[in-house]
Amino acid sequence: MTNEIRNTHQEEAPALLQFSSKQEYQKYTDANPHRVIVTYKKGVYDVTDFLDCHPGGDEIIKDCNGRDISDLFHSSYPHQHSSNALRMLSKYKIAEINDKSEKDDRAPTSEAYPLVTSDYIQYKDFRISRKEGFILQTFKLSKEQYLDFIHHPLHLDECKLFTWKFFEFFTRNKWWYIPIAWLPVIAYFVYCGVTYDYGSDRSFMDRYIKVDSPDFSGTALLLSFLFGMFLWGLAEYGLHRFLFHLSEKLLFNKWIRWFHFMLHGIHHLIPMDPDRLVFPPPLGYLVSFIVFTIWNFMFGGNLSRILYAGTFFAYILYDYQHWWLHHGKGGIHYYKDLKRYHNLHHFFDADQGYGITSKLWDYVFGTVIQVKEQKLSK
């Protein structure tokens, strides 16, 4: 199979340009001022088409235009790069510099893995068609193949979950879908929380929350809402760690793998897809029902409704922040650090770093990504 992949790659990949010196390479970059071109160990890479999808933002790459990134690529600033990143870089290789006057320190020749063409994605022992929806194709994969599939992040211009356009439409979600889908729900639960009498299901806080109660307190209402927002951080961590990242032992069944792929596997396969960064409202409503059931069991009455409203108001902020962590630019140091941290989760260690809006619960439960412990396979 390895030989088959190599032969296919040789047939489809364009021939690399050959520069006999750095001066010749420099003339080429001067003749293409609108392209962003870098070198890595005497390989030349045109990364213009990757600018919008670079996890660290486009500014870093633009600053490196025309420069060698060999040392930067392996340093801890602004972030270390994994072997996955090296494979992704190889996709953009256009030339080699054959300067015999300098030491030949070029990187070992290796194929990009997986091999991506306009028609398919070729892995070690299976192939995924890009002309058909990925969802049904996951049913044909073994557990080992499925893990290989989702653990190699890709930069694809187009990815179809369903072959049928009607179903495919509902898998793509713009960031502005979220407030439209959730603000009316939040408003309804606030209304229920401050007006309804839940009788035997009352909580200890209901008399301070219900507006027609003589003990009503706006401060108590606000604190309850804010506590609901705080609870989202814990729910976010728990959902991400235990539901979105199911233990590999639980992925023994094809239907479980299908559910996992729909829920979160697709995001790890194509983490920079802008239409699949916010949670689809139908799935969100299902998760919210589970969360409300838990809150109602634990607190009951008006309080559970206000907590629900606060929790999912924080969820809206979470979805916006998640989109920004992948595609946002600039910002204060705190968010730049979170952006770097979240990219480590995607490209270094998917089994650590579950916090998205903050690292708080990663510290509490001991799942903080330790950058210094990361080893890059060369």
Q: What is the mean pLDDT of the chain?
A: 83
Q: At what angle do helices 281-298 and 177-195 cross, to 10 degrees?
A: 20
The reply to whether 41 falls in a domain is: yes
Residue 214 and residue 297 in one domain: yes
For residues 254 and 369, state if they share a domain.
yes
Q: Which of 70, 97, 124 is the last residue of a domain?
A: 97
Same domain? 203 vs 283: yes
Residue 346 lies in a domain: yes
Structural domain of 272: 167-373
Residue whose token pair is 């979470």: 318
Q: Are residues 61 and 207 in the same domain?
A: no
Higher pLDDT, 9 or 144: 144
pTM value is 0.73
Residues 213 and 322 in one domain: yes
Half-sphere exposure of 131 (CA within 13 A, CB side): 4
Give the end of a domain, one of 62, 97, 132.
97
In this structure, what CATH number is given to the domain that contains residue 11?
Answer: 3.10.120.10
And the tokens for 151?
Answer: 């653990």
- State the pLDDT at residue 370: 80
Q: Does residue 187 sit in the same domain as residue 88?
A: no
Residue 120 placed within a domain: no
Are both 212 and 350 inside the same structural domain?
yes
Residue 146 lies in a domain: no
Residues 222 and 340 in one domain: yes
254-266: pLDDT as tens digits: 999 999 998 899 9
User: Is 141 inside a domain boundary?
Assistant: no
pLDDT tops 60 at residue 78: no
The model's confidence at residue 3, banded by pLDDT at 50, 70 and 90, is very low
* Per-residue pLDDT, 187: 97
Question: Are the beta carbons of 38 and 61 closer than 8 angstroms?
Answer: yes
Q: How many domains does the chain have?
A: 2
Picking from 65, 97, 129, the residue at the C-terminal end of a domain is 97
Tell which wins on pLDDT, 366 or 65.
Answer: 366
Residue 138 belongs to a domain: no
Q: Is residue 256 part of a domain?
A: yes
Tell me which of 77-81, 185-189, 198-202, 315-319 is least confident: 77-81
pLDDT at 53: 62
Residue 190 sits in the same domain as residue 332: yes
Q: What are phi and psi of 44, to 5 degrees?
A: -110, 130
Virtual torsion, Cα 139, 178, 318, 52, nearest 10 deg: 70
CA R_g for the chain: 25
* Mean pLDDT, range 113-137, rounded to an integer: 91
Q: Judge if 194 and 328 occupy the same domain.
A: yes
In a domain, residue 144? The reply is no
Give the CA angle between residues 153, 257, 244 to the nearest 5°.
65
